[in-house]
Amino acid sequence: MKSLFLTITLLIALAGSAAAQMKDWHAERAVSSTPPAEMIDELTRQMARKLQLNEGQYVKLRAVNQIKLTTVEEIEWQYTDLAKRNAKLNELENQYEVECSRILTPTQLSLYHSEFLHDAKPTKVDAKENGVG
């Protein structure tokens, strides 16, 4: 009887310790697992207005946008090294463009590149031009 009581007490103590550690882990991670639905909807609505998406494209693109925004948050939380973070974000952006090319028509895709990627990628600056002139 004493050994049964001691075993149960030990198991309860271990379970309590594990639960406390999980609470600490969740507290360290300030980022929620999914981005707000308003952010996903706003991005998708903006794309729908500019690219003139049909309903099927809207639904598919919303799912892709949700995955992209969730993954961006995870990458920003997970990688503190700026070079690794940028490499992962570039890889994600390439995957996102591939998914968009599967959903959008060629006309919409060219419009996407001109409208949305124009602001995202900086233009190259000539090394000889230093702004002094």
Q: What pLDDT, in 10s, does the model give residues 118-131?
A: 655 444 444 555 54
Which residue's structure tokens are 């980022």? 31
End-to-end alpha carbon distance in the chain: 90
Q: What pLDDT, in 10s, does the model give residues 2-32?
A: 776 667 776 677 666 666 666 555 555 554 5
pTM score of the predicted model: 0.63
Entry field: residues in the chain: 133
Q: What pLDDT, in 10s, does the model give residues 56-91?
A: 999 999 999 999 999 999 999 999 899 999 999 999
Residue from 81, 43, 35 nearest 62 by CA: 43
Residue 75: per-residue pLDDT: 92
